[in-house]
Amino acid sequence: MKKIIGKIVSGLILIAIVYWFVSSIISDRQVEEEKQELKDEKQLQTEKSVADMAAKHNAVTDWRHGFDTNDLDLFRSTYTIEVEDALIRTDGRPIMFFAAVVDVARETNKYSVHFHNLFDLFSRSGDIHFVLDCTPEQIKEILLHKANKLEEYAVITHISEVKKVKLKLTTVSENDETYLEPSNAFIAEGQCLELLFVGN
């Protein structure tokens, strides 16, 4: 009789352990699903906010398409006039871009913010650094987030000038020799109309 009771108790303990283990897995999955749902909801809200911001300013969002004509073009330099045509619109519309904040500077009576997207290095449009005049309110927004270089802002801007960085320093690793070579980097200056932190 004691053996039967012992087996029943052992069986009940085993069932309880299995039940706890399974319910723990189910609970963890539910928590993960809820986190993912919140993340997806936040992403959809961010995408909607970005779309609303672009629509509000009638901003050009596909200005890079003019550069994506041919895969072989990756080996060709981008001309300043091409970047000007894409960024300084004859129709007067602003553009929208995504980039991280690299620096915030205070000048006499204004602020300028340096935006850069690391992934521009692999784009046919060249490596574009945006240096934009910003309002004190926009600066407060930027300082509030203190984002890293992979976290980005959606930015609406009117560009007034594009300059090409003429030369860059390159080091050959075999002999540590440094030399100058033509650059494919641009500086676009203008006014920030609106920005929105979108994260990474």
Tell me the per-residue pLDDT of 139-163, one tens digit each, with 9 for 90 and over: 999 998 876 777 899 999 999 999 9
Clarify whether residues 106 and 119 are in a common domain.
yes
- Which one, of 58, 76, 18, 89, lies nearest residue 156 by Cα? 58
Query: Does residue 113 share a domain with residue 176?
Result: yes
In contact, 99 and 153? CB cutoff 8 Å = yes
70 lies in the same domain as 159: yes
Same domain, 65 and 118: yes
Residue in this structure with the two tokens 């963890």, named with its chain if needed:
28
CB of 157 within 8 A of CB of 184?
no
Q: Are residues 52 and 146 in the same domain?
A: no
Q: For residues 181 and 183, what is the distance between their CA atoms, to the nearest angstrom? A: 6
Separation of alpha carbons 43 and 152, rounded Å? 13
114 and 138 in a single domain? The answer is yes
Q: How many helices (H) and strands (E) does the chain have?
A: 3, 5
Please count the other Cβ atoms lying within 10 Å of the Cβ belonging to residue 116: 20
Q: Which domain holds residue 126?
A: 60-199
Q: What six digits make up the tokens of 186?
A: 């641009």
> Do 9 and 108 lie in a common domain?
no
pTM (global) more than 0.75: no
Q: How far is CA 37 from CA 24, 33, 50, in A?
A: 20, 6, 20
C-alpha span between 89 and 44 (Å, rounded): 29
What are the pLDDT tens digits along the chain (200 aa)? 666 776 776 777 778 787 777 777 777 777 777 777 777 788 888 899 999 999 999 999 998 876 655 555 556 778 889 889 989 989 999 999 999 999 999 988 889 999 998 766 555 566 899 999 999 999 999 998 876 777 899 999 999 999 988 766 666 666 677 656 667 789 999 999 999 999 87
Instruction: Answer whether 186's CB lies under 8 Å from 164's CB.
Output: yes
Please count the residues of the chain: 200
Residues 93, 46 share a domain: no
Q: Is 121 found in the same domain as 99?
A: yes
Query: E strands, the chain, where?
Result: 95-106, 111-116, 127-134, 152-172, 177-199
What domain count does the chain have? 2
Q: Could you read off the pLDDT of 105-138 as tens digits, one per residue?
A: 998 888 999 999 876 655 556 689 999 999 999 9
Mention every residue, 6+ apart, whose C-beta is less than 8 A from residue 156: 53, 54, 57, 59, 94, 95, 96, 192, 193, 194, 195
